[in-house]
Amino acid sequence: MDSKSEGFGYGVLINGGNNLLVAVTHLSIDDSWYEKILTGFHTHVLALIKPTAACTGENFEVDLEHSGKNKAFDVDYAWEVKVNKITVKNVPVADLGDAGVEVSAHFGLAGPRPGLTALD
């Protein structure tokens, strides 16, 4: 994220940690045809790989090359948010892999604030 924007989203690890379904908003990054007008909220399915040197110490890393080639990278899944819960409906199993949902979480993203460093 750049320092001009903030983001918010939900993530669900699927297919034994090989894929990640995310529902996110990050208004300054235009990577979806299906962003909702006011919020920018939209969904992606991301491929995950074993972390490279760029993500040392992490459990997963997004495979940018293969994620962009997946037809589910930019799809218009039906979703609804109520308080801090999200429901995503009618997601084809073929988009996610067939292992089922492993873990779900909600998260927020924020760019650096003036006067703060990345470690603050």
Extract the tokens encoding 62: 């997004």
| CA-CA-CA-CA torsion sign (44, 50, 52, 57) | positive
pLDDT in tens, 10-20: 778 876 778 88
**Structure tokens belonging to residue 32:** 């979806």
pLDDT at 2 over 60: no
40 vs 31: CA distance, rounded Å: 10
Instruction: Please tell me the pTM assigned to this model.
Output: 0.68
Closest by CA to 8, choosing from 88, 81, 106, is 106
Residue 10: what pLDDT? 77
At 71, which amino acid appears?
K
12 DSSP β-pair partners:
21, 104
